[in-house]
A and B are shown apart, each in its own frame.
Chain A
Amino acid sequence: MMKKILTFVTFILCILVGAVFTPTILDKDMLLGNHNITTPKVIYDYQQEIDNLKVQNKELNVNIENLESKLENYENGEEVDYKLLQKELFNENIIYDIILGNTDVEGPGVEVLMSDSDEEITIGDDISNYIIHNSNVLKIVNELKYAGAEVIAINGYQLSWDSNIDCAGPVIYIDDFIAGTPFKIEAIGNQQKMMATLEADDSYYVELSRFSKINISLREKDNIVLKKN
C-alpha cells in the first residue's frame, strides 16, 4: 500500500518536472521562429531602427526642400540667369569653405580651458592622473560635436573630420599643428545647448572636472573668431 502511494507521488512529480521543462523548450523554438512570444531585445532593436529611419527621413526631407527651391530659382527665367547661378555657387562654396577650414569664421560659442594639475605630486601617485592626455581632449571635442558645435578649434587650429589628435610627449599634435597646455578648445554653435550638454550629470566634462586632478573650466563666449588654418 505504502509503495503504491509512493509510486503515485513520484508519477505526479514526474509530470510536474515535465511541465516545468516544456515551456523552456517551447520558448526557445518560439524565440527562434519569432512566434507568439518574443524578448524585449527584439522590440528594442526595432525601436532603434524606427528612430533611425525617422531621423533619416527628416534629413532627406530637408534636403529635398533645399534642392527644390534651388531648382525652382534656376528654372524661373526663360534664359539662364548667370548672376543668380554665380550667387548660388558662391554661397555654396562659402559653406564648404567653413567645413574645410579654408576661411576665417566667427560666431557665438563656448570655450573649454584645460591645463595640467598644479597640485603637488606625492610619492606613490601616478603622474598620468595629473596631466592631460590626447584622449581627454578627443572626448571633450566629441562631446562638443554631440552638443551641436559647428566649428571647433584647439588653440586656434580649426578641426575637420580627418584631424587626428595625437600624444607626442609634452605636447599634442593635431595633424601638423603642435599644441601645448593650456589647451583652449573653442566651439561655435548654440551656446545654451552646448552649456547644457557639457554641464549635464552624465557628461565627460563633469566627469573630468569632478573626478580628475587636471584643471578644466567652461565659459560662454559671445564672439569667437577663428583664423583659417
Chain B
Amino acid sequence: MDKSKGSTWITIICIIIGIMIALQMKSIGNLGGLVTTQRADEMLIEINEMEKENEKLIQKVNELENSISVFENQAADNNEVVEKMLKDANMAKAQAGYTDLVGPGVLIALDYTDDDGFDPFTFNSELLLLLVNELNASGAEAISINGERIVNTSEIRLAGNHININGKKNAYPFVFKVIGDSKTLSSALNIRGGIFDLLELNYIEVTLEESDKLTVPRYNGTLNFTHAKPVEK
C-alpha cells in the first residue's frame, strides 16, 4: 500500500518536471536561443564609433553647404542672373526634399505590442505604402518615416524581414512626421473604413497627434541621374 502510494507521487512529480523542462526549452526557443553578449558588445562599440563619424560627416556637410551658400549669395548680390537662378534652385530644393522643413502637421505612430513573433508590418508591408498614398491624397507637403524623408525615389518595400525605406532597414514602431493641414489630414485618415481602420484591422496600434510645429528632416542621399537625361531641343 505504502509502496504504490509512493510511486504515484513520484510519477506525478516526474510529469511536472517533464512539463517544466519542456516549457523552459520552448520559451528559450521562442527567443531564438541564447547567445553571449560578447558579439553584442563589439557591435555596440562599432555603433558608437559609426555614430560619432556620422555626426562629424553631417557637421562637415553643413559647413560646406554654408560656405557655398555664403559664396553664392555674395555673387547673387552683384549679378541678377545668378540671383534668379539661385532663387529657383532653393525653391526646387525645398520641394524635392533636400532641405529640412518646419511647419504644422501631424505625428503618426504605428506600433505592435504583443510579443508573439508576429509582425503585421512585414506580413502586410503594403500598409505603409497605402498610408503614404493616403497622406499624399490629403495634401501632405512633406513626409518622413523614422527620419527618412520621402522623395521621388523612396521605396517602402519588404526586404528579408525588415522594411527598406531609402535603402535603410526599418522595423516597427514607425513614426510618421507629416507637414500639412492637420485638421484635413487627421479627418482624412480617421474616416470610417479609411486607412486607420484598415491598419487597426491588421492589429496595428495607431496614435495620431496634431502638432503646431514639426520638423521633417531632409533627404541625405545624392541627387544624380545617370540614365535619365533632359531631352535636347
Contact = CB atoms under 8 A, between A and B. Distances in A.
Given A60-B54, A71-B71, A80-B74, A13 B17 contact: yes
- Among A20, A38, A148, find the residue whose CB has the most chain B CB atoms closer than 10 A: A38
Interface of B: 2-3, 6, 9-10, 13-14, 16-17, 20-21, 24, 27-28, 31-37, 39-40, 43-44, 46-47, 50-51, 53-54, 57-58, 60-61, 64-65, 67-68, 71-72, 74-75, 78-79, 81-82, 85-86, 88-89, 92-93, 95-97, 126, 129-130, 133-134, 136-137, 140-141, 143, 150-157, 159, 162, 164, 167-169, 171, 220-231
17 contacts: A16-B17, A53-B54, A56-B168, A63-B61, A67-B68, A80-B78, A90-B85, A92-B89, A93-B88, A96-B93, A103-B231, A105-B231, A149-B153, A150-B228, A166-B137, A188-B228, A189-B228
A96 B96 contact: yes
Contacts of B37: 34-38
Contacts of B86: 89
Contacts of A68: 64
Contacts of B130: 135, 138
Interface of A: 2-3, 6, 9-10, 13, 16-17, 20-21, 23-24, 27, 34-43, 45-57, 59-64, 66-68, 70-71, 74-75, 80, 82, 85-86, 89-90, 92-100, 103-109, 134-135, 138-139, 142-143, 145-146, 148-151, 159-166, 188-190, 225
A178 B219 CA distance: 30
Contact of B230 (A89, A94, A142): A94
Contact of B6 (A2, A50, A166): A2
Given A48-B169, A95-B223, 14 more contacts: A6-B6, A16-B17, A37-B34, A50-B50, A71-B67, A95-B224, A95-B225, A96-B93, A100-B92, A105-B228, A138-B130, A145-B153, A164-B133, A166-B133
